[in-house]
């Protein structure tokens, strides 16, 4: 004899989307109130560079391109450098020559006296005057010396002007006083230094790759014109 047992029928789904039994317990769908299942959340994985113990990743190189390598400095051309050296050395010699006498006069190494004009030619920057110089007290007389700084209105023959000379063996008597005398030697020595800087630039001394060699080359380029100026200062004493 078969015994049929009946189970309580499940109630229809409630408002939450699940099935409710007679005891009030809910069964059925798991999810939101609308009955749809929740989508799986993605798992966050840190980049490979942030994982401890991972070696750094090498940067990717584009195929077919090589890293640029610095080119060595181009050596200077010998002929232009030699021409600049000779030209600037001659200019430095001229500027040192015209600055030596006014420098000693500016520092007080001079002999006062009277210059007598014998002849003057030209005018302005091209003016050339010659004559005689008589030192005060009759210490010496210099004939045929060049007289510098003669005013344009006093260039006639026989005109006497107060002047100065650095010594009896000097070849120039200076009749200009005041700021013009200081400007003459100051500009001359500045131009001597400019010639030294030009020698260092145009001979390639400033473009040497070795730092120590560059220092020695620049020092030699500046020392050359300065030694020339010192030689003329010693000769004009």
Q: Has residue 147 got a pLDDT over 50?
A: yes
Contact of 149 with 174, CB cutoff 8 Å: yes
- pLDDT attached to residue 67: 59
- pLDDT attached to residue 36: 53
- pLDDT attached to residue 89: 94
**pLDDT, averaged across the chain:** 78
- pLDDT attached to residue 78: 78
pLDDT tens, residue by residue, 26-65:
554 444 444 455 555 556 656 655 656 656 666 565 555 6
- Between 77 and 51, where is the model more confident? 77
- pLDDT attached to residue 33: 47
Question: Does residue 17 sit within a domain?
Answer: no
Q: Would you mind telling me the total number of residues written for the chain in this entry? A: 237
pLDDT band at 19 (very low <50, low <70, confident <90, very high): very low
Question: Does residue 203 sit within a domain?
Answer: yes
- pLDDT attached to residue 169: 86
Question: Does residue 9 sit within a domain?
Answer: no
Q: How many CB atoms are located within 10 Å of the residue 149 CB?
A: 21
Question: Does residue 82 sit within a domain?
Answer: yes
Question: Does residue 213 sit within a domain?
Answer: yes
For the chain, the domain total comes to 1
- pLDDT attached to residue 30: 45
The H or E element spanning position 190 is helix 179-202
Question: Does residue 1 sit within a domain?
Answer: no
The terminus-to-terminus CA distance of the chain in angstroms comes to 153
- pLDDT attached to residue 1: 43
What is the residue range of 217's domain?
Answer: 78-235
Once rounded to an integer, what is the mean pLDDT over residues 10-27? 49
- Between 72 and 101, where is the model more confident? 101
Percent of the chain with pLDDT over 70: 68
- pLDDT attached to residue 77: 72
- Give the pTM: 0.61
Question: Does residue 43 sit within a domain?
Answer: no
CA-nearest of 122, 177, 178, 167 to 145 is: 167
pLDDT tens, residue by residue, 110-146:
889 999 999 999 888 888 999 999 999 888 999 999 9
Residue 128 has phi, psi (to 5 degrees) of -130, 125
Percent of the chain with pLDDT over 90: 34
Question: Does residue 60 sit within a domain?
Answer: no
């Amino acid at each position: 004899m078969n015994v049929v047992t009946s189970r309580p029928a499940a109630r229809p789904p409630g408002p939450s989307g699940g099935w409710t039994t007679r005891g009030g317990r809910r069964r059925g769908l798991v999810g939101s109130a609308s009955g749809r299942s929740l989508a799986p959340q993605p798992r966050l994985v840190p980049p490979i560079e942030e994982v401890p113990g991972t070696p750094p990743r090498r940067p990717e190189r584009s195929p077919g391109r090589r890293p640029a390598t610095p080119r060595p400095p181009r050596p200077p051309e010998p002929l232009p450098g030699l021409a600049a050296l000779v030209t600037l050395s001659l200019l430095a010699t001229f500027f040192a020559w015209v600055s030596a006498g006014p420098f000693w006069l500016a520092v007080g190494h001079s002999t006062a006296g009277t210059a007598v004009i014998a002849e003057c030619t030209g005018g302005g920057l091209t003016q050339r005057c010659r004559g005689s110089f008589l030192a005060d007290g009759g210490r010496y007389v210099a004939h045929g010396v060049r007289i510098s700084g003669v005013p344009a209105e006093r260039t006639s023959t026989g005109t006497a002007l107060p002047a100065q000379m650095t010594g009896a063996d000097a070849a120039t008597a200076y009749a200009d006083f005041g700021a013009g005398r200081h400007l003459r030697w100051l500009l001359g020595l500045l131009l001597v230094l400019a010639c030294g800087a030009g020698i260092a630039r145009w001979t390639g001394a400033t473009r040497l790759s070795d730092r120590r060699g560059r220092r020695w080359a620049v020092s030699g380029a500046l020392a050359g014109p300065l030694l020339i100026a010192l030689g003329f200062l010693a000769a004009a004493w």
